[in-house]
Chain A
Amino acid sequence: EAQVTQNPRYLITVTGKKLTVTCSQNMNHEYMSWYRQDPGLGLRQIYYSMNVEVTDKGDVPEGYKVSRKEKRNFPLILESPSPNQTSLYFCASSPGQGRGYTFGSGTRLTVV
C-alpha cells in the first residue's frame, strides 16, 4: 500500500531532551515536507526537501533540523525541544510539480 509512515503517533517528552520523528514513504516521491499544525494557525511548513541531500527551510524552521540521506526517509529532529514546539506534526510527500500530496497520520508531540 502506498503510504507515508510517521512514528511515533504520540510523544510526551521533557524540555531539552533530543528527539526524532521519523517519516518514510514507499512511493519513490522526490518531494517531502514537514508541517506543524496549531489551533488557529493552520498548517505551517517547517522544512522541505526537493530530493536526496536537498533540503530547505519553510516558514517556521527555528528549533528543527532535517536530513534527506535517502529518498524514502525524511526525519525531523528536535535537538532541544521546548514547550512551544508542542504541536501536531505532519509529514507529506509528492512525486513532483503538478501532482498531489500524500500525508502521514500525524505525530502529536507534547513537550513539558
Chain B
Amino acid sequence: AQRVTQPEKLLSVFKGAPVELKCNYSYSGSPELFWYVQYSRQRLQLLLRHISRESIKGFTADLNKGETSFHLKKPFAQEEDSAMYYCALSGLGSNYQLIWGAGTKLIIKP
C-alpha cells in the first residue's frame, strides 16, 4: 500500500538548534517526494522536492531509498520556521494525486 508517515505530530526546538522532520514512505515504484509548508493562516506551498536537490530557506531533504525516508533537515532553526510541514509522495509516471502525510507542526522556541 502507498503510504506516507510523519511520526511526529508536534516538534518543538529552540532557536538555533538543528531540526529534523521525519518522513517515511511506502511505495513499490519510483516515487517523487515533496515537502510542503503551511505558515500560520496561509496556504500550503511547496518547500522543496527531491528531484531538485536544492536547499530552500536553509532546509534540505535527501531521498534515502534504502530506508524509504525523506527527512527534512535544517542545521540552525529560526523562529520564522514555525509552521506546519507536510511530506507528500507522487509516483513517477503517475499523472495525478499526491499521497500526503499527516503533517508535523514545528514550533521554534525563542
Q: Do A and B come from one complex?
A: no
Please report B residues at the A interface, Cβ cutoff 8 Å.
none
